[in-house]
């Protein structure tokens, strides 16, 4: 019996393109090494990431045979503190949205949304040679698939 390779949805918030590009680079390296297939979906910002995952889940529910289901999800983006409370709202609600989806749907999710005080902190965390938070998020997703496999929730029969 051959081991099924995972199919992953990588959702990338494009508000800070340069930082997101680095996060994606790290995630893709990990997924490619694991021989996982993946689709990249771009959204405007971190707040839209949970919505994109919910749309994909709904699409798979409505059209179960229309396309291959995602086995896991990687959420990538960056929120940098500004002069208003917008930062706290975006951080809290995007992460809460991801947690709610994860628990409601038993998702294997790697959370790679950086929440930083400034661009330099974000740059270091995104950099594949330093923090590699994109790679970390992809590894977290794959590890959660291992947990699902342990409990016989993946691969689907």
| Residues with active-site annotation | 86
**Sheet containing 37-43: order of strands:** 37-43, 7-13, 72-80, 109-116
Rounding to the nearest 10 degrees, give the CA dihedral for residues 91, 52, 23, 109: 80
Q: Is the peptide bond before 97 cis (omega within 30 degrees of 0)?
A: no
DSSP 3-state of 32: helix
| Contact of 53 with 95, CB cutoff 8 Å | no
128, 22 in Cβ contact below 8 A?
yes
């Amino acid at each position: 019996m051959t081991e099924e390779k995972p199919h992953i949805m990588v959702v990338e918030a494009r508000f800070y393109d340069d930082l997101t590009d680095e996060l994606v680079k790290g995630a893709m390296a990990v997924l490619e090494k694991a021989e996982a297939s993946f689709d990249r979906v771009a959204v405007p910002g971190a707040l839209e990431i949970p919505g994109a995952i919910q749309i994909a889940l709904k699409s798979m529910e409505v059209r179960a045979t229309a396309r291959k289901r995602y086995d896991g999800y990687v959420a990538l983006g960056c929120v940098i503190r500004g002069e208003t409370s917008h930062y706290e709202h975006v951080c809290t609600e995007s992460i809460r949205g991801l947690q709610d989806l994860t628990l409601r749907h038993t998702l294997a999710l790697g959370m790679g949304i950086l929440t930083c005080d400034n661009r330099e902190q974000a740059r270091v965390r995104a950099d594949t040679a330093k923090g590699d938070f994109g790679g970390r998020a992809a590894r977290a997703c794959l590890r959660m698939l291992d947990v699902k496999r342990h409990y016989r929730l993946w691969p689907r029969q």
